[in-house]
Amino acid sequence: MSLTIKLQLASHLNLNHHHANKITHNTFSNYNPKIRPKPIYSSNPLIITTCKVKPRMQVTTVIKSSLIDPDGGALVDLLVPESQRGSKTLEAESLPKVQLTRIDLEWVHVIGEGWASPLKGFMREDEYLQSLHFNSLRMKDGSVVNMSLPIVLSIDDETKERIGSSSHVGLIGPDGDYVAILRSIEIYKHHKEERIARTWGTTAPGLPYVEEVITPAGNWLIGGDLELLKPIKYNDGLDNYRLSPKQLREEFDRREADAVFAFQLRNPVHNGHALLMNDTRKRLLEMGYKNPILLLHPLGGFTKADDVPLDVRMEQHSKVLEDGVLDPETTIVAIFPSPMHYAGPTEVQWHAKARINAGANFYIVGRDPAGMGHPTEKRDLYDPDHGKKVLSMAPGLEKLNILPFRVAAYDTKDNKMAFFDPTRSKDFLFISGTKMRAYAKSGENPPEGFMCPSGWKVLVKYYESLQVEEASQQPVLSA
């Protein structure tokens, strides 16, 4: 995988210490692998570190960290104060109702916690058109923020008629509970074909998010200002990993991080990923940073059916930390709640923008980010280099700069993941995600050094369980 880093160059940062002498040693050489975090399902990721940090004084109510301002200058937090939740819930019960799907609820989560700052609700038509056509929103002061994906809520004809002339609606979650109020609403036409064509660059059948969300969606979109009645919880054993941008910024400050580099993934972590993340930290140290922190940030919303489920990925990530492949003292593991579009260069802008709002000033972007195979042809849907090129030109992301990385592959001579050396290309093996899944499904071990053994066992166990489930569903033929 060929990776690049996005470097925040905001003028408000204090960069004096970055001109210090370069640090040439790798601090991982001093890491003790016997110091391990507690199991992932029973620990709070905010306390996996054993290092001592000084508490910071709270001098302002504006939520920001010392590294980078959120889009719009202040982080959006739409959760109703606890003292008002009872009365607001009663109000929601009196309003016309809009039923949310699971993926709608994920978007409520995203908006409510400020991942999409400065967006304060589902998009009204002017915001939707700006996002769809310009990949950005223009603020009242004339500044531009990136917003490459439309964040919208659809309704059908019956719901539109039921809402009538009401200015506000109550949003009901998949479990039947009231989760939010949408105020000062605007209802407008849902032009599905245009939305699909402009977001994905194709209307070919087989796009996972389109088939799951847009095709069955209603013919209308409803926008408005969101009031979140309570924190979004999924009760799946992983809620303590769903850290909001506010929580992440507070933790970066608590650890006195002077650089935060985010790595998003929707696949298990192999040693090639780890090589790139560790090398990123080494480079940041050599640039003069003293305490770079890795935000390992797996996507936790909707993913396509053949992706490894979130709970399995999180368990696998836990093994990577327990085995010391990544340093738990300089790593924060958290879940990014956004659904996945598989919209390539359009979507990677959203991924980068959301991490800015979370307080990360570096963003690692890989080959063909947010991409997938063409649904009807045997080729990639997007050019694998376009994602990183688009990020360097995207409106609202001008403050970010790209540092290129070399390709990582499996070195058959040294039996480990290493940076690709074109002078001996025959010695390197490229193991794709498809190949990795094929290994796990067949029970065949990958080459030694590809992934930590305990992490690999998690994947094998998962695919074995799938095979058992599939076998149990086969019809029994009578003699």
CB–CB of 63/246 below 8 Å? yes
At residue 41, the pLDDT reads 35
At residue 36, the pLDDT reads 35
**Closest to 322 in 3D by CA, of 8, 48, 16:** 48
Walking along the chain (479 residues) 10 residues at a time, the average pLDDT comes out as: 41 37 34 34 39 38 64 96 98 98 98 98 98 97 96 98 98 98 98 98 98 98 98 97 97 94 93 93 93 97 96 97 96 98 97 95 88 95 93 84 71 94 95 84 91 96 90 68
Distance CA 371, CA 344 (A): 4
At residue 58, the pLDDT reads 37
pTM for this model (two decimals):
0.86
At residue 402, the pLDDT reads 57
At residue 438, the pLDDT reads 86
At residue 65, the pLDDT reads 52
Could you give phi then psi for residue 106, rounded to 5 degrees?
-60, -40
At residue 372, the pLDDT reads 94
CB–CB of 379/279 below 8 Å? no
